[in-house]
Structure 1
């Protein structure tokens, strides 16, 4: 097994202490919906946007060799058992502003949970964002992958976004600055979302609230929400569904250690709280390989795999 990395607090990512919370060697399992994974070398939760900007500027001058990873609710990431190099910036609950602007426009912070954004828009009598209630992540994460559910996606609603780059420079951008596709967004490198303005439609607050409840009931009936997971593991290939292909390949219920391809929904990998990240990644890679072998379809993960494996683990080795 790989030995735990030793982080010297005297050689941290910043020359000056930030106002937010900075910790060394913090386990990330509790900050992800899969509840697995090793530690971050450094975990930083900024106090606010100004603190984030100052910290990134300090990092760029003091320790630019340390990689930077942004983390929201951790619902679309698999953190490997060896942990994550460098600086992890945790935005969940920090940039969580929600405010109605003029007309039917909403300003939403990147650290705001999508479910909170959906409920806020409904209370404001605005419709079009109800689908966000079914996305188990933050607004920033939704922007990063053009998240969607029940036929809705976030980027068709976007009027503008705020970003910050690795040098701590703030930008305001429009959808024209990005190449946006199904579960994919490509834009300026080393920039991260700080928030967005959505353009919605006037409607009835009670109707929007009821619609959210209906969608959440449907989600609960079809998905294994009581167990740790990342939500959907794979994007749906054009004209098909990843869950159908995985089930047709005979993989429902396949286990590796404590991890399992869910009987309830084959595009979910769940566990009982005791799995290793390596077991989950093995099932992910195995499902890809079997669907490719049997049907000639390459499944593309929605989830990002981060960090270092533990020595001796091989997600692609063998089968159960």
Structure 2
């Protein structure tokens, strides 16, 4: 991919003279993703707040691609990088948390899931302990209906706040989000900026015990100290992805320095010098072997974005051939 970061930056600056956020050209995405791999973004934009974001989006030319990333926990950026503008919401502008009334809590989408769980505990609000075990931020949780330990985001959401591609602000109800398993029907162009959640009164000691149990389970069965992206594949209906991967003989399988974790084989890890190409190739190899073994098509849960490097062969997308 040909990246001309300075040219794009010079094109954008006159359009947003009052911008308070930060524009960074040629930003390394390997510093953002938990895999610690990936190419560069042409321009990275970190808005100061929702108003700054709305102004920027209203001024942004229609032909400039836009991509929103969170903390990079379930993101695989290809080695050729990302064209256009990558938007990353900062904790300073979108990291607020506040209780509303007796059972509700409002927060920005840059808030880490674990922080929301802790804030809810401190407020004596039950129903949020599952977030303690999810390695991401609220923006991603809203987009993919993140869940764990038998609870999903859709069970807690009251409304979601967003800015669209033209800079217009929106408030979406729970029904507007169109939630299903690890999915939301909300328009892809919407940039979530915050949300209001509903919990219930609960003893803080009980909540802490629930959070401790979540933490213990995660540390016991997941490679939490590795460079990973969380669950690689969604659970097919009636099946556990990790069991299908294991039964296909892929536990510990490696491509370059990318590996399916021996500890939890639905987690890919970068054992050292893996590239995004290694990781994606590994994932596609696993998908093919699971189809061959079980006749089931695994779907990626990790989001793969960007371009392949010029010296790399594109990873062949899984074709879903029939058996």
The TM tier, using the shorter chain, reads over 0.9
Q: Which residue of 1 aligns with 2:15?
A: 15
Q: Which residue of 2 aligns with 1:81?
A: 79
Q: CA deviation at 1:178?
A: 2.8
Q: Which whole-Å CA distance do the structure 2 matches of 1:6 and 1:167 have between them? A: 23
Residues 51-72 of structure 1, C-alpha deviation per residue, up to 9 Å, x if partnerless?
A: 111111121xxx2211111111
Instruction: Name structure 1 gaps, 5 residues minimum.
Output: none
Superposition RMSD on alpha carbons, in Å?
Answer: 1.5
Q: Which residue of 2 aligns with 1:28?
A: 29
Residues 267-297 of structure 1, C-alpha deviation per residue, up to 9 Å, x if partnerless?
A: 0010123110000000111111111111110
Indicate if the aligned counterparts of 1:78 and 1:306 stay in contact, CA closer than 8 A: yes
Residues 52-67 of structure 1: pairs in structure 2 closer than 5 A: 52-59=53-60, 63-67=61-65
Q: Which whole-Å CA distance do the structure 2 matches of 1:203 and 1:253 have between them? A: 41
Residues 92, 209 of structure 1: alpha-carbon distance in 2 compared, 3 angstrom cutoff: farther
The alignment's TM-score, normalised by the length of structure 1, stands at: 0.94
Instruction: Name structure 2 gaps, 5 residues minimum.
Output: 318-323
Q: Which residue of 2 aligns with 1:200?
A: 199
Q: How many corresponding residue pairs?
A: 313
The alignment's TM-score, normalised by the length of structure 2, stands at: 0.93
Match status 1:259 vs 2:243: no
Q: Which residue of 2 aligns with 1:126?
A: 125
Q: Which residue of 2 aligns with 1:135?
A: 134
Q: Which residue of 1 aligns with 2:225?
A: 226
Q: CA deviation at 1:230?
A: 0.5
Q: Which whole-Å CA distance do the structure 2 matches of 1:104 and 1:266 have between them? A: 38
Residues 171-222 of structure 1, C-alpha deviation per residue, up to 9 Å, x if partnerless?
A: 1110221321110111234112111111101011122122212211110110
Residues 232-247 of structure 1: pairs in structure 2 closer than 5 A: 232-247=231-246
Q: CA deviation at 1:14?
A: 6.0
Q: Which residue of 2 aligns with 1:303?
A: 302
Q: CA deviation at 1:6?
A: 5.1
Indicate if the aligned counterparts of 1:101 and 1:107 stay in contact, CA closer than 8 A: yes
Q: Which residue of 1 aligns with 2:38?
A: 37
Q: CA deviation at 1:7?
A: 3.6
Q: Which residue of 1 aligns with 2:69?
A: 71
Residues 62-119 of structure 1, C-alpha deviation per residue, up to 9 Å, x if partnerless?
A: x221111111101121000000111000114231111000120110111111000000
Q: Which residue of 2 aligns with 1:186?
A: 185
Indicate if the aligned counterparts of 2:5 and 2:43 stay in contact, CA closer than 8 A: no
Q: Which whole-Å CA distance do the structure 1 matches of 2:301 and 2:265 have between them? A: 14
- Partner secondary structure for residue 100 of structure 1: strand
Q: CA deviation at 1:157?
A: 1.0
4+ aligned runs moved over 6 Å, structure 1: none
Indicate if the aligned counterparts of 2:252 and 2:261 stay in contact, CA closer than 8 A: yes
Match status 1:152 vs 2:151: yes
